[in-house]
Amino acid sequence: QQKTDRLAEVELRLKDCLAEKAQEEERLSRRLRDSHETIASLRAQSPPIKYVIRTVEVESSKTKQALSESQARNQHLQEQVAMQRQVLKEMEQQLQSSHQLTAQLRAQIAMYESELERAHGQMLEEMQSLEEDKNRAIEEAFARAQVEMKAVHENLAGVRTNLLTLQPALRTLTSDYNGLKRQVRGFPLLLQEALKSVKAEIGQAIEEVNSNNQELLRKYRRELQLRKKCHNELVRLKGNIRVIARVRPVTKEDGEGPDATNAVTFDADDDSIIHLLHKGKPVSFELDKVFSPRASQQDVFQEVQALITSCIDGFNVCIFAYGQTGAGKTYTMEGTPENPGINQRALQLLFSEVQEKASDWEYTITVSAAEIYNEVLRDLLGQEPQEKLEIRLCPDGSGQLYVPGLTEFQVQSVDDINKVFEFGHTNRTTEFTNLNEHSSRSHALLIVTVRGVDCSTGLRTTGKLNLVDLAGSERVGKSGAEGSRLREAQHINKSLSALGDVIAALRSRQGHVPFRNSKLTYLLQDSLSGDSKTLMVVQVSPVEKNTSETLYSLKFAERVRSVELGPGSRRAELGSWSSQEHLEWEPACQTPQPSARAHSAPGSGTTSRPGSIRRKLQPLA
């Protein structure tokens, strides 16, 4: 087939070449005829011109002029004849080349014809060979087909025999298939019913498991509360210092970025566990109670109100707030007018309890306020707040400490409390630092004395409630303290370090406890030496940048929690009032009455206070 296609292609090319050759020959013949005609006409015109030239030589000037024109024309015609001869020569050359091309084409045609004949012969031979192969393949295929047909007939006979044998089995299978088909049609309904039944059973089992889990969870929480209650009772009997922690919320003053992320988490099942992520490592602490940032002032107060009410029964109670600056100690202890803290709520609770027992008991509640600023004890309610006060032993031989000259106000209502708090707050030393806009630069103490007389038996009780807001511990480089602020920070850190030494000595049961190393520890000696019910509120910051201070505060809280002071003693006696008063801070006989003399100018680092507040407090004395 390829050779046939090639031969057809050669024939088409041959026809095209012949057609081109005929066209070229016709064009050259036509041009040759035109050239011969032109030559003939030029030859026919040449003799008259020569003759005119020869005859004009004897004529006149006009004739000469005509002769010159004729000569020019003759010259032009000769040039044209030369040109025509040149064209003729070129056409003859083209004709010659055309003849050569024709000869070449004829040679090619002859070659193509011979090749075509040869290809035709080969094709005939191959066709004959293919025909022989085809006939031979047909014969072989026919023979094989006969053999296979014979085998198929034999197999068909066997299949017919088998088919006759399988017809009963096929009927049985068809019947079974129809039965299975009917069962399959009803299978979704059976499956749905089975699934419903299984789901109901599983749901019932899940409910039973959930019920069991809830019951176990309730039992676990009840046991946890019981264990905690027993532990607290054991701690109370041992006289341990109770420690609660409160975490303030993250505020806008903490800034943004990685340093302001929350690093404190809480245990969902145990409200006495707090977790701190410090330098990528989790650290856990167990205290008596942990309050999250969502806890309210009332939640915190409910934890301490049992201690506060025991002061009505004649016990000495001390509650102090500890933590770094800006952790929220003052907010927890003092609060705001709209949301008061432990101090004001404690006095309100005392008034409520006193009113409930008014039919059987007569109570007198007095309040004093002091601060320790740069290791100097000052009276926040006195006429001269810059006056230095000293701590002395009570001269009645009881071994109790008191502060001579400390102003004491009797309060009879909530309004009196607000006036005292406002007056004391204006005198407390606060300053701006890098860590806190209103940083407390002193340790503040609110001393509440409750004296009671049982109208029926004459039993007299004296209880003291010491509420202490410690100044915040801080790093000097971090708080940006300079000058007087630097001296304040050094005194604050020194007093807090002395408090840590006292706690360490009490924890290790050393024979000597260094209470006198600081005015703060000396003033808290009665609260930390076993004759008082003491609770510490440790305030911590949750942000990442304060984790070092938070870690130190929580470690200190754990050490404080392990200190055993012994059970607090109730101070109640029968007898005269004057012989049985045992004031922790000051004997009743030496209690100074507030006077209305003019205030001296406030000293360095203190906040000025208006004289109108002092005049409001005069009737309370």
Res 477 pLDDT > 60? no
Q: Is the pLDDT of residue 519 over 60?
A: yes
Confidence category of residue 478, pLDDT binned at 50, 70, 90: low
Mean pLDDT for the stretch of residues 305-329: 85
Instruction: Read off the pLDDT of residues 122-140 as tens digits, 9 standing for 90 and up.
Output: 888 988 999 899 999 999 9
Q: What is the pLDDT of residue 440?
A: 61
- Name 365's bridge partners: 450
> Would you state the pLDDT for residue 276?
93
Domain tally, the chain: 1
Are 462 and 450 a contacting pair, CB within 8 Å?
Answer: yes
**Which residue range(s) make up the domain with 270?**
242-573
**Distance, CA of 356 to CA of 575 (rounded, Å):** 24
In the predicted structure, residue 291 carries a pLDDT above the cut 80: yes
Q: Is residue 593 part of a domain?
A: no
pLDDT at 283 over 90: yes
Amino acid 424: pLDDT: 78
Residue with the larger pLDDT of the pair 264 and 45 = 264
324 is in an annotated binding site: yes
618 lies in some domain: no
Mean pLDDT of the 86-108 span: 85
Residue 420 lies in a domain: yes
- Asked whether residue 355 carries a pLDDT value surpassing 60, the answer given is yes
The pLDDT score that the predictor gives to residue 231 is: 56
Range 284-297 average pLDDT? 92
Q: Is 426 annotated as a binding residue?
A: no
**Averaged over 423-442, what is the pLDDT?**
59
Residue 329 is assigned to a ligand binding site: yes
For residue 429, the model assigns a pLDDT of 60
Q: Which of 239-248, 279-288, 330-339 is the least confident region?
A: 239-248
Q: What value, to the nearest 5°, has the Cα angle with vertex 526 and ends 524 and 531?
A: 140
327 carries a ligand binding annotation: yes
Determine which helix (DSSP H) or strand (DSSP E) holds 28, and give its type and residue range.
helix 2-56
Q: What is the pLDDT of residue 597?
A: 30
Across the strands, what pairs with 102? none
| pLDDT on residue 381 | 86
E strand spans, 212-338: 242-247, 264-266, 273-278, 281-286, 289-291, 316-323
* CATH code assigned at 250: 3.40.850.10
Residue 83 lies in a domain: no
The pLDDT assigned to 569 comes to: 58
15 pLDDT tier (thresholds 50, 70, 90): confident
pLDDT of amino acid 36: 82
- Mean pLDDT on 486-498: 83
pLDDT for res 480: 55
Looking at per-residue pLDDT, the higher value among 271 and 239 belongs to 271
**Does 189 reside within a domain?**
no
In a domain, 494, yes or no: yes
With cut-offs at 50, 70 and 90, classify the pLDDT of residue 246: very high
For residue 284, is it within any domain?
A: yes
Q: Residue 237: which pLDDT band, with cuts at 50, 70 and 90?
A: low
Is 335 annotated in a binding site? The answer is no
pLDDT digits (tens, 9 = 90+) for 396-424: 766 678 888 888 889 888 788 778 878 87
Average pLDDT value over all residues in the chain: 78
Instruction: Tell me: is residue 325 an annotated ligand-binding position.
Output: yes
Neighbours of 501 (CB within 10 A): 16
pLDDT score of 79 more than 90: no
pLDDT category of residue 45 using cuts at 50, 70 and 90: low
Q: Which residues contact 326 (CB under 8 A, 6 or more apart)?
A: 253, 435, 436, 439, 472, 541
The predicted structure's pLDDT at residue 314: 83
Q: What percent of the chain has pLDDT over 70?
A: 81
Q: Examine the pLDDT at 86 and tell me if it is beyond 60.
A: yes
The 10s digit of each residue's pLDDT in 167-186 is 888 888 888 888 888 878 87
Residue 143 known to bind ligand: no
Q: What are phi and psi of 200, to 5 degrees?
A: -60, -45
- Reference 379, options 439, 422, 427, 318; nearest CA is 427
Q: Is residue 74 part of a domain?
A: no
| 326 is known to lie in a ligand binding site | yes
Cα separation, 415 vs 182, in Å, equals 91
Q: By the 8 A CB rule, do 553 and 324 touch?
A: yes
The most distant pair of C-alpha atoms in the chain lies apart, rounded to whole Å, by: 195
Angstrom distance (rounded) from CA 555 to CA 558: 5
Q: Would the pLDDT of 121 be above 80?
A: yes
CA geometry: angle at 450 spanning 444 and 451, to 5°?
Answer: 145
